[in-house]
Structure 1
Amino acid sequence: MGLLSGVAVVLLVLLHSTQSVYIQYQGFKVQLKSVKKLSDLEGYQMTHSSKSPQPAVCHHPALPLDLRPICALQEAASIFDTLRHIAVDDCELCVNVACTGCF
């Protein structure tokens, strides 16, 4: 019986470690790690994208797939700013209702 309960504890720990934290905002559900990646790409600039209404990061090949649909919106820059704000301030602590999947 002790071995079985030990295996159950290990499985619960593994399950917990594979759960992703998501941010739900304006109909989009994106992973917290994607928003952190967005922050890493924040300084990205493309010279030919200056005429584009999209934020420069939308043209970066490393932009996570779950963030790409946001680029189709006119308000993409403000949505990205809000997502970054939620991720930095509240999502890691799971105090924001926009954050799900955290324990």
Structure 2
Amino acid sequence: MSTSFVAAWNKPTEFSMTTDPENLDAIVIDAETQSVRIPEGHTVEGDLIVRGGKVDVRGEVTGNVVAVDGEVVLASTAHIYGKKEEIDQVFDWIWFESRRLLEKLWPGGRDEGD
């Protein structure tokens, strides 16, 4: 099973974004530069996960901002209520996916101090 995780990680990362569809009005997506921007004065409710690209936060995110095989850039106007994570190693990715699965199975079991 660990071989399949490593094989999945070694595949070229396609640019993609995961968030609540209601957030799309608050996000600027540029597929050409493989970047996602939250402009100043806009709010993304919940988590924002971007694979294979850059996340440029100038506004607010009420959840976590995660870049898998990418980077998170914060402007001075940015505010993230959750965590900022950049995952660029296979073991970080496995840990991140495991935590996401556990949070889905046991919502509300997340410690605010994490």
Query: Same-fold call, TM > 0.5?
Result: no
Whichever structure has more strand as a proportion of its residues is: 2
Q: Tell me which protein shows more helix as a share of its residues.
A: 1
**TM-score, length of structure 1 as denominator length:** 0.31
**Does 1 or 2 have the higher relative contact order (CA < 8 Å, sep 6+)?**
1
Structure showing greater radius of gyration is 1
